[in-house]
Amino acid sequence: MAFDIPSLKTEDKPMVIASAFILVILSIGTVYTLSTQGSAPLLSPGYLLQQLQTGSFLGIVAAGMMVVILLGHIDLSVAWTMTAAAMMATTVGGEWAIPTGIAVGAAVGLVNGFGVAYLRVPSMIFTLGVDSVLRGLMVAHTGGFAPQDSATPLMRTLASDRFLGIPSAIFVWLAVSVVIAVMLKRTAFGREIYVTGNREVAAYLSGIRTRRVILGSFVVSGICAALAGVMLAGYSARAYQGMGNPFLLPAIAAVVIGGTRILGGQGRYIGTLIGVILIVLLNSVLSIMQMPEAGRQVIYGSVIISMLLVYGRGNKVHS
Partner 1 sequence: PEIVSGPGVDPACFAPWNADTKYMQWPTKAGPYKVAVVNGFVGNGWRIQMIKTAKAFAEDPAMKDKIAEFKVVSTGTDAPAQLGAIEDFINQGYDAIVTIAVSPDGFDRVIRLADKNNVVLVPFDNVLDTDKVMQVNEDQLKMGRMWAQFALDELKAKGVTSGKILEVRGLPGNSVDRDRSIGINETFKADGGNWEMVSVVGNWDDGTTQKVVADAIAVHGQFDAVVGQGGSNGVIQALMDAGHPWVPVAGESENGYRKAIAKYSDEGLKGISIGQSPGLVAIAMKAAVSALEGNVMPQLISVPLPVATYKDLEDGKNYWSDLPDNFFTVNEFPPCGVNISGPSIMAQSEADVK
Partner 2 sequence: MPIDSPIVKLSGVSKHFSGTRALEGVDFSCRSGTIHGILGENGAGKSTLIKILSGVLQPDAGTIEVSGEAVRFSNPDQAAVSGIVCIFQELSLVPDLSVADNISIAAPPRTRFGLIDKRAQNRRAEELLARIKCEDVDPNSLVRELSLSRRQMVEIAKALGKDPKVLILDEATSALTSRDVETVYGLLAELRAAGVASLFISHRMHEIDKLCDMLSVFRNGQHIETFAKGAHSEGEIVKLMIGREVTAHYPPKPAPVPKPAYLTIDKLAWEGQLKGIDLRIGKGEIVGLGGLDGQGQKELLLGLFGVLRGLQGEVAILDNPCRPGSPAEAKSAAMRIALVPEDRKTEGLMLAMSIADNLLAASYDRVSDGPFINQDKARQAVSEGIAKLQIKVASPDDIVSTLSGGNQQKVVIAKWLMTDPDVILLNDPTRGIDVGTKQEIYKLIRELADRGKTILLYSSDYAELIGCCDRVAVMYDGEIVAKLSGGAITEEAIVAASLNVGTQSSLPAAGARHG
Partner 3 sequence: MADKRSALATNMRQNVAFYSAIAMLVALYLVYNMLHPRGFSAAVLIQNSNESVAIVFLAMAQTVPVLLGGLDLSVGAIMTLANCIASEVVNGSPLQIVLGMIITLATGTAFGLVNGLIVVYGRLQPIIATLATGAVAVGLALFIRPVPGGNVDDDISWALTNDLYEFVDTYGLFDADAGWFQTISWIPVPLLIVVMIAFGVWLPFKRTVTGRTIYAIGSAEGAAYMSGLPIDRAKIAAFTLAGFFAACGGLYLAIQTSSGNADITQAGAYTLNSIAAVVVGGTSLLGGVGGAIGSLVGALILRVISFYFRIVSIDPLLQPLVEGLVLLVAVSLGAFRTLRVKNQLNLFR
Q: Which residues bind partner 1 (CB under 8 A)?
A: 33, 37, 41-42, 44, 46-47, 50-51, 54, 135, 138-139, 142-143, 145-150, 160, 232, 235-238, 240-243, 245-246, 284, 287-288, 290, 292-293
The correct pick among 135, 173, 177, 184 for binding partner 3 (CB under 8 A) is 135
Note whether 146 binds partner 3 by CB under 8 A. Answer: no
Contact 83, 239 (CB under 8 A): yes
Query: Which among 173, 181, 283 has a CA at the least distance from the CA of 228?
Result: 173
Contact 232, 112 (CB under 8 A): no
Determine, following the binding rule CB under 8 A, whether residue 124 of this chain makes contact with partner 3. Answer: yes
59 sits near partner 2 (criterion: CB under 8 A): no
Site membership for partner 3, residue 263 (CB under 8 A): yes
Q: What DSSP string describes 45-101?
A: HHHHHHHHHHHHHHHHHHHHHHHHHHTT---TTHHHHHHHHHHHHHHH-GGGHHHHH
From the number of C-beta atoms within 10 Å of its C-beta (0-12, 13-18, 19+), residue 170 rates as: middle
Separation of alpha carbons 314 and 112, rounded Å: 35
Query: Which of 36, 106, 49 minimizes the C-alpha distance to 77?
Result: 106
3-state secondary structure 234-269: HHHCECCCCCCHHHHHHHHHHHHHCCCCCCCCCCCH
Residues 197-256 within binding reach of partner 3 (CB under 8 A): 200-201, 204-205, 249, 252-253, 256
Q: Which is nearer to partner 1, 209 or 238 (CB)?
A: 238
- The smaller minimum CB distance to partner 3, of residues 79 and 183, is found at 79
Distance of closest approach, residue 218 Cβ to partner 1, in angstroms: 23
Q: How far is the CB of 149 from partner 1 (least distance, A)?
A: 4
* C-alpha span between 163 and 49 (Å, rounded): 12
156-195 footprint of partner 3 as x/- string (CB under 8 A): ----------------------------------------
Radius of gyration of the chain (CA): 20
CB 167 within 8 A of CB 270: no
| Partner whose binding site includes residue 208, from partner 2, partner 1, partner 3, none (CB under 5 to 8 Å by kind) | partner 2
* Backbone angle region of 164, left / alpha / beta, with phi > 0 → left and psi within -120 to 50 → alpha: left
298 binds, among partner 1, partner 3, partner 2, none (CB under 5 to 8 A by kind): partner 3
The reply on whether position 119 binds partner 3 by CB under 8 A is yes
Nearest to 269 by CA among 70, 50, 25: 70
Q: Return the residue of 24, 48, 49, 133 that touches partner 3, per CB under 8 A.
A: 133
Contact partner at residue 156 from partner 2, partner 3, partner 1, none, CB < 5 to 8 Å by partner kind = none
Q: Is the CB of 7 or the CB of 35 nearer to partner 2? A: 7
Nearest distance from C-beta of residue 4 to partner 2, angstroms: 7
Half-sphere CA count of 93, side-chain side, radius 13 A: 7
Rank residues 182 and 298 by Cβ distance to partner 3 and give the closer one.
Answer: 298
Q: C-beta of 263: minimal distance to partner 2 in Å?
A: 10
Question: Distance between CA 226 and CA 60 in Å, rounded?
Answer: 9
Give me the least distance between CB of 143 and partner 1, in Å please: 6
- Distance, in Å, from the CA atom of 168 to the CA atom of 174, rounded to the nearest integer, reads 10
Binding site for partner 3 (CB under 8 A): 76, 115, 119-122, 124-126, 128-137, 139-140, 142-143, 200-201, 204-205, 249, 252-253, 256, 261-263, 292-305, 308-309, 312-313, 315-319
